[in-house]
Amino acid sequence: MVTPILMPRPGQMTEECTVQLWLKAEGDLVHKGDILFEIETDKSSMEVEAFDEGTLLRIVAPEGATVPVNTVVAWVGQPGDAIPEAPAPVVPAPVLAAPEALAATPASSHPLGPAPAALLQQALAASPSPAPASGDRLTISPRASRVAAELGIDPRSVRGSGPGGRIVERDIRAAAALPATAPASVSAPPAAGPDADGVSPEPLSRLRQVIASRLTESVTTIPHFTVTVAVDMSGLVALRAELRRDGSPVALTDIIHAATAQTLVEFPLVNARTDGRQLWRRERVHLGIAVSVPGGLLVPVVRDADRRTLAELHDAAASLVERARAGRLGPDELSGGTFTISNMGMFRVEAFSAIINPGESGILAVSSILPTPVALGDGLAVRQIMRLTLSADHRLVDGELGARFLNAIRRRLEDVNDWRSAAATT
């Protein structure tokens, strides 16, 4: 019996993946658990295992092909079995509305987001094209829509090569490589060539492009404000020295994670999200941890961070950071965060502010712990001071709430006895 091998859906928000490498060739025997091929999403790479046994009869999606999830990429069966035609994707393709619908759709609710939608609407209005065969609607993948907006390409003029004529990313990029036909009012990407100083451009990595897209979306759609407090970490610095002597792996970073997660339970609005019209309250705290990796930044997520012990937080965060830097995180480990921490304490940074991760209402920027003269009573003393800066979504979090949230974290961190007890139970 012939069995189809489908492109998996690595994460809830993933609509298509790229085949990076086939580890089996046509005619090879396949056993359950064998690694068949590797795929790449916007954020990570992963291996795909076989769930059926037989012979790899045909590879439908070659290396480099980008296809929707739940699409047939190969067939497994017995030699001589008849191979059917690959069916259309199981999941209905997203539909891009006509220009009139775009104009009537609130920017914040459109799947492309306000900035790309506005650019795409401008391009569509400026450059009329023949309507697609299906009428005034066409099927296009989310990534293709995003790339079309970024490159100023009218998707109605592009012929789709995906299943059922669906327009996918490679179709948009192929159209962008053709001689420009757009009117002068639509900005086209600059020609690849040296600038006035003779410097030739180079393309951004895929990860860098994703970062650019998400952070641009954040700063153009979320009204940020920031507030900073200074935390006296002298007691925790001394406690960490004690723990190190006792062989405990718990670090100051773990305590900061724990204090933040506990405070998010106390201030649920900071853990919520909004689109400016509705509010989504979250009962669980999933803490994103910004991790620097070669070529960019990833934010793996520690789930239920408020319910973990210090030791559990340490182990979870250490594992995520290690696998993030090795490129071995799964898409589900990079999604679903409710609040993010960006820690630059290791770089002797006095203070900084961070950009909110889209879908969240705040991000905490953690600076270095620095010896600082402070007033104590009538005198001066040198204390170990760390500054925390909250960037918050002003649509949901006001200045007073942000200040109370930060001061609650500060009070927790300065209560050394509580952390001594917590560390003793790990």
- Per the residue annotation, which of 224, 286, 314, 394 is the catalytic one? 394
Q: pLDDT, tens digit, for every residue of 142-189?
A: 567 666 766 667 777 788 776 567 777 777 777 766 543 333 333 444
| Catalytic status, residue 394 | yes
**224 or 45, higher pLDDT:** 224
- Distance, in Å, from the CA atom of 138 to the CA atom of 105, rounded to the nearest integer, reads 17
Confidence class for position 253, pLDDT limits 50, 70, 90:
very high
Domain residue limits, the chain: 3-77, 95-189, 224-424
**What kind of fold does domain 3-77 have according to CATH?**
OB fold (Dihydrolipoamide Acetyltransferase, E2P) (2.40.50)
> For the whole model, what pTM was predicted?
0.61
> Which pair of structure tokens corresponds to residue 383?
């204390």
Write out the CATH class of domain 224-424: alpha beta
- Kindly list the distances between the CA atom of residue 376 and the CA atoms of 213, 239, 379, in Å, as whole numbers in the listed order: 47, 21, 5
The better pLDDT of the pair 293, 113 is held by 293
Question: So what's the pLDDT on residue 83?
Answer: 87
pLDDT of residue 167: 79
The 10s digit of each residue's pLDDT in 358-412 is: 999 999 999 999 999 999 889 999 999 999 999 999 999 999 999 999 999 999 9
d(CA 327, CA 340): 20
Whole-number pLDDT of residue 254: 97
Task: With CA atoms as reference, report the closest residue to 386 among 401, 371, 408, 402.
Answer: 371
**What are the pLDDT digits (tens) for 199-241?**
888 888 777 888 888 899 999 999 999 999 999 999 999 999 9
- What are the tens digits of pLDDT across the range 50-73? 888 999 999 999 988 888 888 899
Homologous superfamily of the 95-189 domain (CATH): E3-binding domain (4.10.320.10)
Mean pLDDT for the chain?
81
336's tokens: 């679903």
Q: For residues 393 and 162, what is the distance between their CA atoms, to the nearest angstrom?
A: 38
At residue 221, the pLDDT reads 93
Apex 340 CA angle, 389 and 115, nearest 5: 95
Instruction: Give the pLDDT of residue 381.
Output: 95
**In this model, does residue 138 exceed pLDDT 70?**
no
| Collapsed DSSP state (helix, strand, coil) of residue 46 | strand
Q: What is the C-alpha to C-alpha distance for residues 83 and 101, in angstroms, rounded to an integer?
A: 41
Task: Give residue 145's pLDDT.
Answer: 67
Kindly report the length of the chain. Answer: 426
The Cα diameter of the chain in Å comes to: 91
Helices and strands: H and E segment counts in the chain: 10, 20
- pLDDT of residue 128 exceeding 70, the answer is no
DSSP string, 242-272: HHHHTT----HHHHHHHHHHHHHHH-GGGG-
Residue 199's pLDDT is 86
8 A C-beta contact, residue 398 and residue 220:
no
- How much is the pLDDT for 343? 97
* List of residues 6+ apart from 310 with CB closer than 8 A: 250, 254, 255, 258, 419, 422, 423, 426
The Cα–Cα gap between 406 and 270 comes to 11
Is 80 exceeded by the pLDDT of residue 121?
Answer: no
Q: Which has the closest alpha carbon to 59: 23, 17, 31?
A: 23
Amino acid present at 335: S
**Residue of 404, 416, 425, 406 lying closest to 308 (CA atoms):** 425
pLDDT for position 172: 78
